[in-house]
Structure 1
Amino acid sequence: MKSHAEPNYDNFDLLATLVAVVSPQGQCLFVNSAFEDQIGLSRRSLLGSSLPQWFMLPRQLQETLAAVARNDYASGRFDAQLKRLPGVQPEALPVHVIVNQTDSTERIIVEMIEIEQQTRLDREERALDQAQANKELIRNLAHEIKNPLGGIRGAAQLLQMELQSKELTEYTQVIVQEADRLQALVDRLLAPHRKPHVVGDVNIHEVCERVRALILAEFPRGLAVQRDYDTSIPEFRGDREQLIQAVLNIAHNAAQALSQRIAEGGACIVLRTRVARQVTIGKTRYRLALELHIEDNGPGIPESIRDRIFYPLVSGREGGSGLGLTLAQTFVQQHQGTIECDSAPGQTLFKILIPLP
């Protein structure tokens, strides 16, 4: 008869990090779902196996486990490479390993944090801070422009009424038209901040189909917009029009970047939807999330602006306003989501993650 109840480790399944409970010799007594997903084997297959065998250099873990078991120190940390099943890419996963004692000398907790995941979380946090700073900058700048703009337009109209020469009135018309153009730009800058967040049930595939129809209507020849949908994705609460605008801004940028391939007849944009499990967005863990990819086979984003594409007024295209991706990021963040980009010549991939119920 056991003197202590068997510990329950179910809560470890809620963590984004990889967790294994092992004996001092490294035998797996428990692994969480994140560990299963990364290794590519079920929990049943992993229980009883040797955890060090899943490391490129097993000796470091073996020595740390032995030292923690002897109580040389309560916790040990090191960086390592975790093996994965052949065919699971990448086959070596860089992790930061934390080995901790428990209340039992027969059980040691080994936590493995993906180094890439930590980097991504840091990047997301910086992106959120930058987006907030961008919003304040845009709002202040737009208001500063808007106030004198009305005066300029009004003065030009009054001057136009006094002028007798048709040639001179053409100049005042230019002033009015350019003032109107700037007014439209200011309205676009302010729109995300003052538009109410309309919440309803959103079907992401209806959003994708609407965007697909709009893109194909503008680029009817030389461009294929392919679908790769997971139709099991549930509806979620959100603003359908905002999400259409966000996806459209990205897809439209892609189509414009594909101009040369469109002329050659080989341009392609792929709209892909998947369900991501156990996703961390910002500092919050979600059981399920929508993963939407917008991928194109264009020339890629210029390296000089690749790290700044979500900043306002940054554009890689002649005549571009540099607002499309800024607005897309704002709309996705209003859905507690995040947007990332990976670009190289021949392939640009935007990935949108939004929590699902």
Structure 2
Amino acid sequence: MGVGRIEAAVHGGDLAAARLRYPSAAEPWVDLSTGINPHAYPVPTLGADVWQRLPQSDAEHRLLHAAAQRYGAADAGSVVAAPGSQALIQIIPRLLEPSGVAVLGPTYGEHAASWARCGHRVAERRGLAEIGVASIVVVVNPNNPTGRTIAADELSALAAVLAQRGGLLVVDEAFADFAAPGVSIVPHLPPATVVLRSFGKAYGLAGLRLGFAIAHPGLCRAVRAELGPWAVSGPAAEVAAAALADAHWLADVGGRLADDCRRLDELLLMHGFELEGGTQLFRLAKHRRATVIADVLGGAGIHVRRFPAQPSWLRFGLPGTDEQWWRLAAALSAAAERT
């Protein structure tokens, strides 16, 4: 089935492009354009054999068991590991016949692009009441970039409707690790539902490239078949299994992130922003001169996320060091003199 050209989604994290745009900016750059935990999990030392051999089945089993325990899945058989949740976003649309897809937006642009690329009829909708006759619905929960959450019982009711239509509910929980209890739908996974989880964001190890799909057995088998063998590297499996089992680290860093969010909110309000939303890993703020502010920050070597469709919005990740906090505050003060 022929598909028209799909425009590439805009993403944060591209420091090479930022350096080209602001060649005289201060180094090192402070990248606040992503929602990645700046306080990364300490990577354990790995033996040389982990790097030298193909990924082993027992290591994958330990990883899946740790993920099932961490996310509240029924068992390891309902979890599929992939080289990043982005890979799953692209794979799942290939597994279903072209259909009507409603994506709750505005949200992460790769969802709509991936479904459209596979010939599905995609429409952005602002709420569950607007999905109409779509048989596939995509919800990012908590949402990126607004931080909006939808209660698990509402999503379960929607899943039941979609199951009757022979459809699928896709819930992207990439930012659910530090959300309020009860936000995740995984512990009471309804039929016709797949949940995506991102490892790298919460654990500050985005370069590891690891994500999970959580679903009932039939869909899990289809996703595994599409991924093929050795989808996740041996080092990634070893590191993530240790991290996912470390509940104390997650609780400690969650408290630190909450403090960081309060500090960032105060800083943004002090400089004339209105807070639009966010999660414990990023804040979305609004300013009438957001474009000017982003340019001043870029000139100071600070990369924030812009939104071409919403020019008054800027998304700020969390600084990770005292120096980064100082540089952000100084650049915002300089921007205030321009606005």
TM-score range, shorter chain: under 0.3
- Higher RCO structure, 1 or 2 (CA under 8 Å, sep 6+): 2
Rg bigger for which structure? 1
TM-score by length of 1: 0.19
TM-score by length of 2: 0.20
Decide which structure has greater strand share. 1
